[in-house]
Structures are given as C-alpha cells and as structure tokens.
Amino acid sequence: MTKTARKSPEEKLLLAARRLFCRAGIHATGITRILEEAGVARGSLYMHYGSKENLLKAVLDTEANMWFHWFDQDLPALKCSSQERILALFDLLEKWFAKEDFFGCIFVNAVAEHEKDSGWVRDMAGTYRDQIIDRLKALVVESGARDPDVVIQKLGLIIEGAIITAMVTQSSQAAHIARLAAEDVLRCTECSPSLGKEST
C-alpha cells in the first residue's frame, strides 16, 4: 500500500494537487501544503509546472483523460447494447464516487471558484465538456433514441447532478439514483412518440 512511493516528483505533485484542490478547494490550498503532502521540494514544483496555475491545468487535463478513458476504452469494451453502455457509465461514476479520495469534480470546483464571465478556467472547462458531451452523443445516437439532442442534455444534466450530489452527500448512492433517473429518461424517450408541448 505504498501509495506515493516510487513515483516521480512530477507525479507526486499532480496527485497531491488533485486531492487537495478537490478536498479543500483550489484557492484555499497553498503551494506549501501541496509540497508537504507530495513530499517534494519547492523548486521541483516550479521546475516542472512553473506556476500553481499550470499545476491546476495539469490536474484538469488528468481528470479529462479519466473521462476520455471511460468513453474510449472502458465502455466500448463492454459486450452489451449501446443503451446498456449508456447506463454502464453510471456504474463507472459509482466506482469513482466510492473512492476514498473523491471530493467532487475538479472541473465543477474550478469553475465554481473562478470568474464566470471569462477566463481560461471557463474556456478550458467548456472545451473539455464539449468533448465529453460529443462522446455521450455518439452513444445516444447509436442507441437510436428518438430525440438524441434532448436525451443528451437530460443525461448530461443527470450526470452533473450526480457529481454534485455525491460531493455534497459524500456517498456513491447518487450514482445509483442517477442511473435510475437515466433509465426513466431513456424509457420515456423510446416509448412516447410526442411528449407534452409546453413550448415556452
């Protein structure tokens, strides 16, 4: 169980930063605390990342890659229908939430603590979000849903709700509820030709 043993200072910094940024907040986490948690010298941080901001960017990249891995590797490996693959995403979420060091999504946290009107955090989060939504879209379209765009938006909303609920309640239960809600959405979409039309 030597968790941070045999890792390069670069990797130890990345892991410590991810954990602390999520657990205590980005602004509330000082460089010094990251260095202590990582067991790495001050100079190494600035040699590898140059600034706290760049370190945060690296953490965001890492988290995005987790999502990409889910969509590009884990889900396609399943031998099941594309609809079941969509639902399997919530099982991946459940595993994520259940990790002892899960303290919310760094993207949500980063957006929450930074300027909402503009800025690189917002841009970066938006770009990665779009890339994730695209992958979700491929799954939904493949499943032959009646109104893919609406389904995607509903599912995206449920996923984000699950993340926040899991962060607030500190329980992986949210993923299970989210899966049930997603099942409702998918069932309604394939069963009802036209829903109510309160246009406004």
Partner DNA sequence: CAGAAACTAGACCGATCAGTCTAGTTTCAT
Partner DNA sequence: ATGAAACTAGACTGATCGGTCTAGTTTCTG
Report the residue from 23, 48, 135, 146 that binds a copy of itself according to the rule CB under 8 A: 23
| Residue recorded with tokens 């899991």 | 166
In one-letter notation, the amino acid at residue 13 is L
> Which one of DNA, a copy of itself, none is in contact with 22 (Cβ closer than 5 to 8 A by kind)?
a copy of itself
Rounded-to-integer distance, Cα 200 and Cα 193, Å:
20
Least distance in angstroms from the C-beta of 40 to DNA: 4
The answer to whether 48 contacts DNA (rule: CB under 7 A) is: yes
Position 110: which residue type?
A
Say whether residue 76 binds DNA (CB under 7 A).
Answer: no
Return the residue matching tokens 């990409």: 68
Residue 177, contacted partner among DNA, a copy of itself, none, CB below 5-8 A by kind: a copy of itself
* CA nearest neighbour of 160 among 67, 84, 80: 67
Q: Does 176 bind a copy of itself (CB under 8 A)?
A: yes
Distance CA 93, CA 99 (A): 10
Which of a copy of itself, DNA, none does residue 40 bind (CB under 5 to 8 Å by kind)? DNA
